[in-house]
Structure formats: structure tokens, C-alpha cells
Homo-oligomer: A and B are copies of this chain.
Amino acid sequence: MARTNHFMALALDEARAAGQRGEVPIGAVVVFDNTVIARAGNRTRELNDVTAHAEIVAIRLASATLGQERLVDADLYVTLEPCTMCAAAISFARIRRLYYGAEDPKGGGIDNGVRFFAQATCHHSPEVYSGLAESDASDILKAFFQARRGE
């Protein structure tokens, strides 16, 4: 559990850094063989790219690092419940375990919304662990949106 907390702490760092860049503060880390092989924050605004969610950026980096499309035996840590797009990308990448922080009832696709991993059109489901550093993850998001409303 100590290492799990460590990796989620790195994802929270990525979330905070994203917020400082004016992005919705969500962070993700890919771990393979107990080593961080990719870490990323949300970059949709910077890149003008709706697909540049933290999870997608991290998965693409991890694949580039390993030189392979599929991240079998890799684990993904992300501060917020992944959306439907990211849920499917996680499945395609054959991620072994997904750890996420706060739930996202409005946009999540794992334990909310389409619950993609439970669908017949999902051909690989990772193990899912939720609620890690949940209050930190959700506080970062709340503070960001409060500050933005105040502007």
C-alpha cells in the first residue's frame, strides 16, 4: 500500500501542475515493474486537443517508452475516475490495474455512466481500485473550479 500511495501522490503532483497551467487539474502515472514509466497531466487546452486527457497522454508516453502498443502488466494511477473515452483507451492498452482517486458521477465511465468495463463490447477489463487519496483529488478539482468562478 505504501508504494500505491507513493504513485498516487505523483499523480496528484501532476494534477496540481496541470491546474497551474490552466488545465482542469487531473494527473496520471503509468507504472511498470514497480517503476514509473510515464506521468502526465491534462493538456487539452495547451495542445488544442480534446483527447489529451491525463490518462491518454500518459498511455501514449508509456507506449512510446516501451515501444509497444499494449501495456500488459502495467498499472495506471489517475486522480479522477476516467471518462468514457479514457476507459476504452485503458482497455485497448490492456492495462492490468486501474487505481483512481475521486469518483466522477457526471463524466465517469468506470463506476458511473456507461460502466465500460462491464459491457460486452469491452474486450479487456483491468482490476479497478477506487477511492485512493479521494479527498485530495477532489479538493484539487474543487479549488480549481472555485478559483475559476471567482475570476
Picked from B69, B84, B120, the residue with its CB within 8 Å of the CB of A44 is: B69
Interface string of A59-88 (1 = CB under 8 A from B): 110011001111000000000000111111
Interface residues of A in 70-113 (CB under 8 A from B): 70, 83-89, 92-93, 106-109, 112-113
| A contact patch SS | loop
Tally of A interface residues using CB under 8 Å: 37
- With beta carbons under 8 angstroms apart, the residue of B48, B70, B88, B123 that contacts A67 is B48
- Verify if A45 is at the interface (C-beta below 8 Å from B): yes
Determine if A113 and B119 form an interchain contact, defined as CB atoms under 8 angstroms apart: yes
- Determine if B63 and A56 form an interchain contact, defined as CB atoms under 8 angstroms apart: no
Q: Is the CB of B49 within 8 A of A60?
A: yes
A116 at the interface (CB under 8 A from B): yes
Partner of A63 from the list B49, B60, B67 (CB cut-off 8 Å) is: B49
Are B67 and A60 neighbours in the complex by a CB distance under 8 Å? Answer: no
- Contacts beyond the supplied A50-B89, A83-B121, A106-B121: 5 A-B pairs with Cβ under 8 Å: A50-B69, A50-B92, A84-B116, A85-B85, A88-B88
